[in-house]
Amino acid sequence: MIKNDLFLKALNGETVERPPVWMMRQAGRYLPEFRALRDKYDFFTRCRTPELAAEITVQPIRIVKPDAAILFSDILVIPQAMGIDVEMKENVGPWLPNPIRSAEDVNNVIVPEIHETLGYVMDAIKLTKEELNNEVPLIGFAGSPWTIFCYAVEGKGSKSFDTAKGFCFSQPEAAHKLLQKITDTTIAYLLEKVKAGCNAIQIFDSWGGMLSPVDYQEFSWPYINQIVEALAPHTKVIVFGKGCWFALHEMGKSKASALGVDWTCSPRNARYLSGGQVTLQGNFDPSRLLSPPATIRKMVHQMIDEFGKDRYIVNLGHGILPHIPVDHAKAFIDAVKSYNS
């Protein structure tokens, strides 16, 4: 039994004394302990070495003490497993030297055998579970098919992903074929993560907000929903779409246990748009962690009041920024723990 199961109770819609709290990218670059490992090992070495991934996952549990751990990994291990080269370049971020640009390129993309290509992730989960010793639940994750598609076609990060969108609009058949291959791989991958010990799964649709509401219903949501449908019988699934407030109504009708919200959508609107019955997660502006700790505490309590303490998981509206002082991250977590309705 997990000793602190607040996070799982919130996903189940149970009444809680206070909402649970964790932070997207909490296992990361704002922590000096993380930076020490980053300086010794390159990015994908950290992802592929179970001992390092487990250590990085557990660091924030020891230091800032959230109510859930999220496995240290990356959404781009999926395209790597599918035979698409992905590098992490200094000051550039993800870099794909051979982006997908044609139907022939799509045909060459494989749907891999998960244990052959991503077995190191399952090893990291098992080690992490040992390290956590049932203190808190462990979240596994993947990028949405659309978000992975964006990197695979664009070849790098972008402010608009025009090339990826253009591929969808000019070669829709090839685009849907690639999206389906990514979806099939992601489902197999996440089911293995659950078998290995993850207690819940989050799907990050980081670039969903790049699409119009109509195009979102064609190129993103149907593929996310396939993943939700496949995983729902086995685990709790959180869907987080950055900039996707317009899809909350559709998401709220799905089998997702929780929906993530970014800071551009008010708690009231998020409750209304999602139908009011699903657990919501979010949505503190990550930059607001630069406020004084007393202000953070006040704003967090106000945010909980607005969302309501039940069917709610406190989080940021996106990943924690690298220059946030650790004391401010602690203030965010502690503010939730001190909440009394």
Catalytic, 30? Answer no
- Give the tens place of pLDDT for each residue, 40-54: 999 999 999 999 999
Catalytic, 48? Answer no
Contact predicate 313/20, CB 8 Å: yes
pLDDT at res. 275: 97
Return the structure tokens found at 142.
């993947």
Catalytic, 25? Answer yes
Closest CA to 167 of 101, 85, 95, 222: 101
Closest CA to 121 of 180, 59, 188: 188
Q: Which of 38, 105, 123, 285 is catalytic?
A: 38
pTM over 0.85: yes
Asked whether residue 120 is marked as a ligand-binding residue, the answer is no
Asked whether residue 151 is marked as a ligand-binding residue, the answer is yes
Q: Which of 18, 46, 67, 151 is catalytic?
A: 151
CATH of the domain spanning 6-337, picked from 3.30.565.10, 3.20.20.210, 3.40.50.300, 3.40.50.2300:
3.20.20.210
- Give the tens place of pLDDT for each residue, 68-102: 999 999 999 999 999 999 999 888 899 999 999 99
pLDDT at res. 90: 82
Q: Which of 67, 74, 184, 205 is catalytic?
A: 74
Place of tokens 């659950």: 194
Region 310-326: mean pLDDT is 98
Catalytic, 29? Answer yes
- Give the tens place of pLDDT for each residue, 4-38: 999 999 999 999 999 999 999 999 999 999 999 99
Asked whether residue 318 is marked as a ligand-binding residue, the answer is yes
- Give the tens place of pLDDT for each residue, 225-267: 999 999 999 999 999 999 999 999 999 999 999 999 999 999 9
Asked whether residue 206 is marked as a ligand-binding residue, the answer is yes
Region 104-126: mean pLDDT is 98
Catalytic, 18? Answer no
Give the number of other CB atoms < 10 A from CB of residue 150. 28
Rounded Cα distance between 57 and 34, Å, is: 10
Region 178-200: mean pLDDT is 98
